[in-house]
Amino acid sequence: MLVENLQHLNIELKKYLEQISPQLIVDLTDLINDKNINYLNNKSKNNCKALYFEYQYDYLDIIFWSVDQAGERITELIRLPSKKIDRIDEEWSALIPKQIWEAAADFEDTYEDDDFDDILDEYNTEKYELFESWFLECWKKATEQTKVEVDAYFSIHDTYFKTDLHSMETINTDEINERYQ
């Protein structure tokens, strides 16, 4: 029974992500259009060479910032989506709904069969594929509404490999750095 509950969590996550898609699309469109961005150290849109979107592995929280030619961050960090969608527990701040997080944690705490690692790996693989596909689809919809004039990247927090949001191809940090030399 626990395995079926775990499999159902990704169905619930997908429903939730679909619910918050409109807000993320608005946020992405605004960021592309340089709205609601606070620049640091007298920098401006003219200094921007790339937009970065990273998410936390556990909680799926998405953070945005932009960088200049030297790869230095020139904006304050912005958490996405910018507005909270109706939530049962206002204390919970993670993007992943609390009920899904707790159910997955309960599975990890209570499931004791030999196939535990395989089941958990399958759940997590599906969850991250679902989440990344959702973000990329929102990005595509946002870019249909506006022209992106700078590079843009998406990845798990602090990883070497990123998705180039123009080509939808994987690129590494060294290749990104070469673009700006």
CA dihedral over 22, 24, 29, 30, signed as positive or negative: positive
Domain boundaries along the sequence of the chain = 2-179
Quick check: 170 pLDDT over 80? yes
The whole-angstrom distance between residue 106's C-alpha and the CA centroid of its chain comes to 24
Of 39, 41, 52, 26, whose CA–CA distance to 150 is shortest? 52
Quick check: 1 pLDDT over 50? no
In sequence order, the β-bridge partners of residue 171 are: 162
pLDDT digits (tens, 9 = 90+) for 52-90: 999 998 899 999 999 999 999 999 999 999 987 655 566
* Contact status, residue 174 vs residue 74, Cβ threshold 8 Å: no
pLDDT digits (tens, 9 = 90+) for 136-168: 999 999 999 898 989 999 999 989 999 999 999
CA distance 106 to 41: 46
Q: How far is CA 175 from CA 39, 79, 107, 114, in A?
A: 26, 26, 40, 41
